[in-house]
């Protein structure tokens, strides 16, 4: 039997926890109670969760235990869902039935969602138990998770620093052991940025690989769903639940994640499509992570060499137009506009002033950018760079706000353009991967002298999600 004590359960990987639940060594109620206790103990410090749905989670756990008892008694254990009884959480951009979806905005009315969104429905169908909703930036727009409705999401490795965004609360929850793993969504780096900041494996699948990850208002087809986890195997397990079985690799992701890939040609590039608009520096800690990652990959038998990638300097304007189009059309009552953060308000106004022709022109450019960039990447099996150009940033650093951890006061004002510039300098290698529709993974490989995690990003060819997970597993082993 598995020891259900807090310390013992916290040491289990998601795969080990899944096995204990499936075997009956651990009940769903014991697992759920443990993680709810962890949330109760640490969330006030971290700000990872906006809403905790403890009563519903315990009801769902009891139902899972009843189902387990029935299938075992009747000899139908193979009918248990893949993630039977596994606690997780959904970021507060994802609808979960009966729970408000705030979208991180004080400008919206926070009514309970009438039904599960596609992502929550898919994972609940695979047996997960939702413990609540995690902190996000307003409408998921930024690389940090600070808004006007709740305290900011903090980095478990250093509470004065941000956990990133937009899946920032999710990353903080997973890194702190408040949930074993969790899904995030990524439209411009929103899985990889917080994974890099919090020392997690964060996989952004390629476009269309996870059907439940698509966003209805995403005309540029940037947004996908994927796993945030502490190990490559845990991420692979969640991918097995997210990807339809007939579209997954033979045997699934988890069964194959430990296999070493054949020697690859890996191109290292520090080029960024943001460099022309926002020339950025790369901190030594980011270069240290890249150097170590390069060495480890070379030691594993891969050929690693410099790759020079040229990006069209019209990219920043086109991406920004596509990225902010949705917030321009969001249904917000006029009297509540003032409750938007300065960045959201500024980009909403600009989006509303932008003509449909300009938006379509931007979308057309991005499709050409996708074609041209993939053609350059094709010389290599994988493209490698740091996940982030800087160490995790202090709370309030992007906005010029305070560090108190309290919700922003209504009179708070910040410089939206400086905020956006800082984000682009912090994460200059993220959004172009979404535009190209390619898979990419952030893998932790280094810790600074202050104990802050630093990761590398690997960008693969279309359909290479398993390969990226295998590379992450190999880096973990080394």
Tell me which residues are annotated as active site.
Answer: 91, 166, 190
CA-wise closest residue to 149 among 101, 187, 198: 101
User: Which residues are CB-contacts of 27 (< 8 A; sequence separation ≥ 6)?
Assistant: 21, 61, 65, 68, 85
Q: Cis omega (within 30 of 0) on the bond before 166?
A: yes
Unique residue bearing structure tokens 């069209």? 312
Q: Distance between CA 97 and CA 394 in Å, rounded?
A: 34
Q: Distance between CA 347 and CA 445 in Å, rounded?
A: 35
- What one-character-per-residue DSSP string does 429-462 give? TSHHHHHHT--EEEEEEEE-TTS-EEEEEEEE-T
* Number of residues in the chain: 478
Q: Distance between CA 398 and CA 395 in Å, rounded?
A: 8
β pairing state of 303-306 and 265-268: parallel
Output DSSP code: residue 406: S
Backbone angles phi, psi at 154, to 5 degrees: -105, 155
Q: Distance between CA 43 and CA 372 in Å, rounded?
A: 45
């Amino acid at each position: 039997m598995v020891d259900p004590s807090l310390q013992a359960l916290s040491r289990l990987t998601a795969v080990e926890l899944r096995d204990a639940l499936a075997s009956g060594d651990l009940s769903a109620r014991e697992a759920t109670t443990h993680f709810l206790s962890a949330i109760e103990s640490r969330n006030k410090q971290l700000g990872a969760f906006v809403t905790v749905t403890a009563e519903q989670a315990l009801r769902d756990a009891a139902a899972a235990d009843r189902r387990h008892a029935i299938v075992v008694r009747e000899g139908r254990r193979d009918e248990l869902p893949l993630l039977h009884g596994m606690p997780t959480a959904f970021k507060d951009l994802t609808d979960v039935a009966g729970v408000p979806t705030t979208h991180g905005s004080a400008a919206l009315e926070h009514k309970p969602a009438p039904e599960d969104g596609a992502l929550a429905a898919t994972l609940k169908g695979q047996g997960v138990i939702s413990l609540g909703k995690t902190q996000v930036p307003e409408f998921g727009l930024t690389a940090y998770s600070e808004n006007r409705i709740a305290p900011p999401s903090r980095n478990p490795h250093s509470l004065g620093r941000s956990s990133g965004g937009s899946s920032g609360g999710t990353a903080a929850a997973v890194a702190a052991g408040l949930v074993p793993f969790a899904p995030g969504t990524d439209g411009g780096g929103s899985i990889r940025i917080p994974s890099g900041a919090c020392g997690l494996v964060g996989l952004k699948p390629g476009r269309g690989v996870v059907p439940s990850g698509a966003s209805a208002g995403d005309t540029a087809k940037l947004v996908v769903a994927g796993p945030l986890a502490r190990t490559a195997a845990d991420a692979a397990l969640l991918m097995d639940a997210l990807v339809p079985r007939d579209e997954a690799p033979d045997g699934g992701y988890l069964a194959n994640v430990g296999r070493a890939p054949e020697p690859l040609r890996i191109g290292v590039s520090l080029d960024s499509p943001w460099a022309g608009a926002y020339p950025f520096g790369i901190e030594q800690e980011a270069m240290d992570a890249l150097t170590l990652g390069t060495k480890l990959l070379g030691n594993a038998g891969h050929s690693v060499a410099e790759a020079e990638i040229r990006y069209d300097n019209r990219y920043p304007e086109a991406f920004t137009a596509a990225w902010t189009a949705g917030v321009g059309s969001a249904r917000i009552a006029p009297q509540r506009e003032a409750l938007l953060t300065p960045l959201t308000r500024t980009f909403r106004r600009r989006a509303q002033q932008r003509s449909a022709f300009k938006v379509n022109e931007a979308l057309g450019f991005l499709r050409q950018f996708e074609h041209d960039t993939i053609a350059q990447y094709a010389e290599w099996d994988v493209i490698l760079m740091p996940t982030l150009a800087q160490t995790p940033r202090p709370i309030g650093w992007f906005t010029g706000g305070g560090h108190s951890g309290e919700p922003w006061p209504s009179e708070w004002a910040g410089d939206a353009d400086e905020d956006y510039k800082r984000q682009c300098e912090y994460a200059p290698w993220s959004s172009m991967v979404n535009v190209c529709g390619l898979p990419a993974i952030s893998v932790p490989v280094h810790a600074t002298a202050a104990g802050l995690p630093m990761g590398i990003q690997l960008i693969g060819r279309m359909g290479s999600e398993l390969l990226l997970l295998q590379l992450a597993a190999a880096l973990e082993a080394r």
